[in-house]
Amino acid sequence: MNNPYTYARIDLKGLVRNLTSIKKSIRKGTAVMAVVKSDAYGHGIAAVSTALERAGVDGFGVAFIQEGVVLRQAGISSPIYVLSGFQPGEEDMLIDHNLVPLVYSAGQVELLDRESGKRNVRRNIHLKIDTGMGRLGFLYDDMTALNRVLEKTKNLNITGVATHISDAHDSAYFTKVQIKRFQKVQGFLESRLSRRLISHAANTDTFFNYPESCFDMVRAGISLYGYGRKGLTPVMHVFSKLISVKTLKKGYAVSYGRTYRLKKDTAVGVLPVGYADGYSRMLSNTGFVGIKGKKVYVIGRVTMNHTMIDMKGVNARVGDKVLIIGKDGTMYIGADQIASLASTISYELLCSMGSSLKRIYE
């Protein structure tokens, strides 16, 4: 059951504005794939994708086939790329819903090729190349596997080639190494196939910082949701409300483990939000929220459904609105800022809060 008192407001206009800013800051003519895996990073895959398709995005990226099926059921007709390929037995689903898998093994290609032949259909696939991520993909120098794929593919169109950059945030050197490795494979495949492929390599951190990484298409995730560069609009705004305020005496301890002891008589507020809502327990004694434009700190441990705050300097009453992340008037609490206090990244905080809370779209 959703928390009845804490909710996420999703600003679809802000989302579309972010798409426009992304398009403006990449090379003209570069296509944009909107990455909407994990329920659009907690923002809701159907609503987000519908808004983006209307705004003219070029395609969608999901982690799993099942998410692609949800998109088709929501009426999405743009290309849908399945970033993690597929597992044996899922070939029919791919074909039925016209999803483009990023395949990463010769065995996968054979399975899909055979099924397509049997059903007398032709579907598109992209080849995923591991140029240094160490996750999914044909190794960039494994020409044996790539040759095998080229020879075995009879009933499929290889229409694209992709890689994923592992360290764009911190290493220009390694990012350039990965781009070089990718260009080599791309050149090899295009010359063997004697045609152009749709090449794509860049996620948010990469396309904003390395124009040469854009190729034909970029894969935008976190930037669509308002993070990863200044000037974007945060799309998710989480609000809660005060459900209790009472004054506790100097020396009184707050919450489990009695990790916070009041240094003087203090008005302590209680918020109906906790780690069950994705508000990490790591924010114990370190997070902050916004009330009436003021920063208010979390005291004691964050519990499953409740979080306590020190009400010093704020004049607020039970029932008053509390900003957890996002924007309210002039007050802004970045998901990236709160995430870093919890030793994580905006991605994780948005996913976990967005997928636990009730969402309201506007």
Ligand X SMILES: *Cc1c(COP(=O)(O)O)cnc(C)c1O
Q: Which is nearer to ligand X, 116 or 204 (CB)?
A: 204
Among 10, 16, 83, 262, binds ligand X (CB under 6 A): 83
* Cβ 35 to ligand X shortest distance, Å: 4
Q: How many residues bind ligand X (CB under 6 A)?
A: 12
Among 87, 62, 57, CA closest to 72: 62
Query: Is position 327 annotated as part of the catalytic site?
Result: no
* Cβ 63 to ligand X shortest distance, Å: 7
Q: Which is nearer to ligand X, 164 or 359 (CB)?
A: 164
Find out whether 159 and 125 touch, Cβ atoms under 8 Å. Answer: yes
Q: Which is nearer to ligand X, 66 or 247 (CB)?
A: 66
- Residues 164-223 binding ligand X (CB under 6 A) are 164, 203-205, 219-223
Buried b (16+ CB within 10 A) or exposed e, 145-165: bbebbbeebebbebbbbbbbb
* Interface pattern 111-150 for ligand X (x via CB under 6 A): ----------------------------------------
> Closest residue to ligand X, Cβ-based?
221
Q: Which is nearer to ligand X, 22 or 302 (CB)?
A: 22
Q: Which is nearer to ligand X, 141 or 348 (CB)?
A: 348
* Interface pattern 245-264 for ligand X (x via CB under 6 A): --------------------
Query: Is position 297 annotated as part of the catalytic site?
Result: no
Q: Per the residue annotation, which of 250, 256, 312, 358 is the catalytic one?
A: 256
* Cβ 220 to ligand X shortest distance, Å: 5
* Cβ 219 to ligand X shortest distance, Å: 4
* Interface pattern 19-48 for ligand X (x via CB under 6 A): ----------------x-x-----------
Q: Per the residue annotation, which of 23, 37, 128, 327 is the catalytic one?
A: 37
Q: Which is nearer to ligand X, 35 or 235 (CB)?
A: 35
The residues that touch ligand X, with contacts defined as CB under 6 A, are 35, 37, 83, 164, 203-205, 219-223
Q: Which residues are catalytic?
A: 37, 256
